[in-house]
A and B are shown apart, each in its own frame.
Chain A
Amino acid sequence: MNKTDQILLIACGALAREILALKAANGWDHLHLHCLPANLHHYPDKITPAVEKMVAERRDEFADIFVVYADCGTGGMLQAACDRMGIRMIEGPHCYSFFEGNDTFAALDEMTAFYLTDFSVRQFDAFIWKPLGLDRHPELRDMYFGNYEKLVYQAQLDDPALTKKAKACADKLRLPFERRLTGYGDLSKAISNN
């Protein structure tokens, strides 16, 4: 591998499939993906140290590193760490925003929407239902979701099977269902800049 043009993408595991799809579709062979566990999403305070550790371990192997996490609940800590380390990261508050397109998402102003992506639809039980304890204690539903008014499925792929599953997730959470085909949104553009 010629280090001079190779770039490491340190990404959230919830984006692995999408990044690999973009990489394959565009022939971005110089990009190398290393994912951190998607369940860090549940512990945002662990994201920044995990990224810092990965950068320290692998930065000598690559010409550059791009972090494919948005702020993701780190409260600006991840951006500050990236600035310190001299590396870039994707813009936006979270993946729901950059899938929609950060500007579009901000303009939507959907405070009471709960979002699912292709990843969280596929992994709904393992990633949402069980970690929130709803499999064991469905009575907690109102404490978690009582203030939400709809579930928005941001579809990356136009897949009827996933849409059906997303609708079932909305039913399970007792929320009205809405689907928007976002595609990869700003993710594609951000990765293409590398």
Chain B
Amino acid sequence: MSDEDEIILADLDDEELVQQMFDDLYDGLKEEIEEGVNILLSRKWIPYDVLTKALVGGMTIVGADFRDGILFVPEVLLAANAMKGGMAILKPLLAETGAPRVGKMVIGTVKGDIHDIGKNLVGMMMEGAGFEVVDLGINNSVEKYLEAMETEGPDILGMSALLTTTMPYMKVVIDTMIEQGIRDDYIVLVGGAPLNEEFGKAIGADAYCRDAAVAVETAKEWMARKHNNAKSA
């Protein structure tokens, strides 16, 4: 590419820049995304708008193309990595500027499972959608989930598993919540490659989420229901 073809992000107007950031996110260009975020902030965009209009907007396209089989896991991970770069700049600013908080989620992979790619994508997209996310990491026992629910007071518990051998552990967690009489205090969302809707229902989860974008939409829906129920109670 000649110098003439090179796009100077700072020369683009806001609309062009956001469009270019969608492209850069799609191509997994972390440095360009970081530069774009800084440019928008220097133009007095509020951090929440940078997050939702530029980053989440771009990741929504990535998510849709992944679901449609146009993009594959490596491309999604590169895009996520680029978004992470932008998020790292925005996160402290979002805390300072008091961005709207949609809800709080505790999330982790279940005991025996170290596969956290899906969990990390969900966590990131949930943060992008305005949720506060407490990431418990990998290999979580029922005790660890319960402790986090007690100390963090989330609205949502998210559990993830990649293995057929570990996914039944989700039921152990939910059954323990039932035993302790706290099941209905939380929205329980589950996900992971070998899971399906039937499994989600069978173990007593509120919903199975097939990918990160669905997780965000499902979480928002359940939060809205929760608010409505609270109002009518």
Contact = CB atoms under 8 A, between A and B. Distances in A.
Given A76-B199, A111-B112, A144 B163 contact: no
Given A71-B164, A75-B196, A111 B114 contact: yes
Interface string B119-149: 0100000000000000000110000000000
A147 B112 contact: no
Contact of A111 (B28, B72, B116, B139): B139
Given A111-B114, A111-B139, A137-B78, A93 B73 contact: no
A137 B27 CA distance: 12
Given A44-B193, A111-B113, A148-B114, A75 B78 contact: no
Contacts, number: 63
B35 interface: no
A75 B199 contact: yes
Interface size bracket, A side: 20 to 34
Q: What class of interface size applies to chain B in its complex with A?
A: 20 to 34
Nearest to A70: B164
A75 B200 CA distance: 11
Most chain A beta-carbon neighbours within 10 Å: one of B112, B165, B195: B165
B167 interface: yes
Interface string A55-84: 000000000000000010111110000000
7 contacts: A75-B167, A75-B195, A76-B164, A76-B199, A111-B113, A112-B114, A147-B138
Interface of B: 28, 72-75, 77-78, 81, 112-117, 120, 138-139, 162-165, 167, 193-196, 199
Interface of A: 44-45, 71, 73-77, 93-94, 111-112, 131-134, 136-137, 139-140, 143-144, 147-148
